[in-house]
Amino acid sequence: MDVTASPLSPRRRTRQIHVGSVAVGGDAPISVQSMTTTKTADVDATLGQIYELAAAGADIVRCTCNERAAAEGLAQIVPRSPVPIVADIHFHVEMALAALEAGVHGLRLNPGNLRKPEEIKLVAREAKDRGVPIRIGVNAGSLHPDIYERFGGATPEALVESARLELAYFDEVDFHDVKISVKASSVATMIGAYRLAAETFDYPLHLGVTEAGPLPGGLIKGTAGIATLLAEGIGDTLRYSLTADPVEEARAGRQLLESLGLRERRGLDLIACPSCGRAEVDVIGVATAAQDALSGMGLPIQVAVMGCVVNGPGEARHADLGIAAGKKRGHLFIRGQIVRVVPEDEMVAALVEEATKIAEEGVEARLAARDVTAEAAAAADRAALLEDRGADANHVAEKVTEIRRRTHD
């Protein structure tokens, strides 16, 4: 199978909006979002975190706007931010209006908390005048009590109905610069809600499992929900909601999109075998050391660490660069071709050196510069390993005879 072919469902086409310079929906790339955990009034701390999030892969960053000091902080943050800023509004219409005055690129309104129709329409009119989009941010934990009672809980139908009612208020003032989220902490409920939302609305959808929790469980829950929907072609922007440094959210979102082939790789993708009894070295230790050494280099490269010289290069032939670890030495390979054999204690250093040269010279140049004796040396290592294990370690002929005896009618 062509590894570049995508088995994912075709992407659901939606209207397109713009959050500052970032297009969302339509044919735009799926974007990654996160949220600052600093006090928005602390301008320097908040900007510092925004820059960290942008470096980790966030395309859009949300900041709380829960008080006047936060709105005043946003007025200073917005023009200095490297990415568009969305203001998070829960209870107070005044904060939404103040955030618009501060120049934010988007608003997130929680319809379960900001409930008065006239206030909702006021914000929509003000946002329309400024060309600022609004996310209808439905949350299973804060549904309007009437909707919760009518549907018998925070069901997918209840979440979508909350968004539909909010959208109706926007329609009254002819405001359509909208994206929608229907988040829940239950992965199953979240998936059901977004599937229904995709059938109900043609607006872009912002994906997320809310309150997913700390690592690693929160990462697993977030990925279970978000990746399922992305594979079905649903979703235009996403956020992991982790009880962790928000940089982990941005990093996870970016890596998920790269893993699914939905965004171009912009950093390291390190793949490694899980190790087994055939390994002659500490594969986990080598992989961890390689990850630490390469991750800060900012190279859009896929690197493989394999624990078997017999199968490693072939199994990871699609990788840009890799090492197959044998007994006391490793086979350095580029796109499946052995280019060098290096001592065990130099394997990680060799990966770093070759990754740097690939970035500077390109893959073809590095293949042309390979050690012509490397493949012969690698073949000798493979032969020695097979000899050590035995050419017929499983006694195949005897096994086949016994299998045929047991299955004979």
| Gap between the Cα atoms of 239 and 222, Å rounded | 9
Count the neighbouring beta carbons within 10 Å of the beta carbon of residue 290: 24
Q: Is the backbone peptide bond immediately before 216 cis, with ω within 30 degrees of 0?
A: yes
pLDDT, greater one: 408 or 324: 324
pLDDT at 394 over 60: no
Asked whether 65 and 99 are in contact (CB, 8 A), the reply is: yes
User: How far, rounded to the nearest angstrom, does the alpha carbon of residue 76 sit from its chain's CA centroid?
Assistant: 29
- Asked whether residue 258 carries a pLDDT value surpassing 70, the answer given is yes
Better pLDDT: 315 or 346: 346
Over range 119-123, report the average pLDDT: 97
CATH 3.30.413.10 placement within the chain: 269-389
Count of CB atoms situated within 10 Å of the CB of 355? 21
Query: For 278-298, how does the pLDDT look when each residue is reduced to its tens digit (9 = 90+)?
Result: 667 888 899 999 999 998 888
Q: How many residues does the chain have?
A: 409
pLDDT confidence tier of residue 329, bands split at 50, 70 and 90: confident
Residue spans in the chain of domains classed CATH 3.20.20.20: 16-259
Indicate the pLDDT class of residue 200, thresholds 50, 70 and 90: very high
Query: What pLDDT shows up at residue 36?
Result: 98
What does the pLDDT look like over 123-169, one tens digit per residue? 999 999 999 999 999 999 999 999 999 999 999 999 999 999 999 99
pLDDT at residue number 98: 98
Is the pLDDT confidence value at 368 over 70?
yes
Distance (Å, whole) CA 248 – CA 138 = 23
- Please state, in angstroms and as integers, the Cα–Cα distance from residue 52 to each residue in 34, 81, 178, following that order: 11, 11, 27
16-259: in CATH 3.20.20.20:
yes
Alpha-helical runs (H) found in 232-373: 246-259, 283-295, 312-315, 347-361, 363-368
Say yes or no to pLDDT of 70 above 50. Answer: yes
pLDDT at residue 283, as a whole number = 85
Q: Are strands 329-334 and 321-325 parallel, antiparallel or unpaired?
A: antiparallel
Average pLDDT over residues 16-31: 98
CB 34 within 8 A of CB 58: yes
Of all residues in the chain, the percent with pLDDT exceeding 70 is 95
User: Average pLDDT, stretch 217-242?
Assistant: 98
Residue 1 — very low, low, confident or very high, per pLDDT cuts 50/70/90? very low
Give the number of other CB atoms < 10 A from CB of residue 385. Answer: 16
Predicted pLDDT of residue 122: 97
* Segment 339-356 mean pLDDT: 94
**pTM (two decimals):** 0.85
Find out if CATH 3.30.460.10 is the number for domain 269-389.
Answer: no
> CA-based Rg of the chain, rounded to a whole angstrom?
26
The per-residue pLDDT of the chain, averaged, comes to 92
Quick one: pLDDT at residue 391? 55
pLDDT of residue 327: 75
97-111, 218-232, 351-365, 387-401: range with lowest mean pLDDT = 387-401
Q: Is the pLDDT of residue 65 over 50?
A: yes
212 — pLDDT class (breaks 50, 70, 90)? very high
pLDDT category at 340 given cuts 50, 70, 90 is: very high
What number is the average pLDDT over the span 296-319?
83
| Conformation bin of residue 353: beta by default, left when phi > 0, alpha when psi is -120 to 50 | alpha
